[in-house]
Amino acid sequence: MIKNHKVIGIVGSRRRNTPQDKLALLEEFKKIYENGDKICSGGCKQGGDRFAEEIAKTLGLTEENGGLIIHRPRKVPKGSPYWVHVEAFHDRNSLIAEECDILLAVVADDRKGGADNTVTKAKKFKREVILVQ
């Protein structure tokens, strides 16, 4: 099967949640987006995930029409140890990294957190990674 359109993964640190961060992401997104491409993200309410959903909305891409792919972390029972929660997010990051063809990542300056975890995984899958400054 020939893949005609690419999947653009978008992730970002919750600490990079400003209008300037969104503008920087949008500038990089416009350089690579072509009509028919899909957006894949993680469903967080802040940072790159939120920006991804806002960009998708402006383009008419939704989960219902297949243009927006959201990989939310699996539900973890209340009272679970911290590492179980971290593992759920890392599993979600793996899904994004594997599914995308190109990853746009709005990473934190200290390069700690889930966005950087997704960058590392995307590189292991030999995906193109663009760090949004």
pLDDT of 3 reads 58
pLDDT of residue 106: 94
What the chain holds in terms of domains, given with CATH numbers, is: 7-131 (3.40.50.450)
| Cα 117 to Cα 85: distance, rounded to the nearest angstrom | 14
Strand partners, 40: 9, 69
CB 52 within 8 A of CB 26: no
* Segment 57-101, tens digit of pLDDT: 999 999 999 999 999 989 999 999 999 988 998 999 999 999 999
Q: What pLDDT digit, counting tens, does each position of 95-125 carry?
A: 999 999 999 999 887 777 778 899 999 999 9
CA angle 121, 53, 72 (to 5 degrees): 50
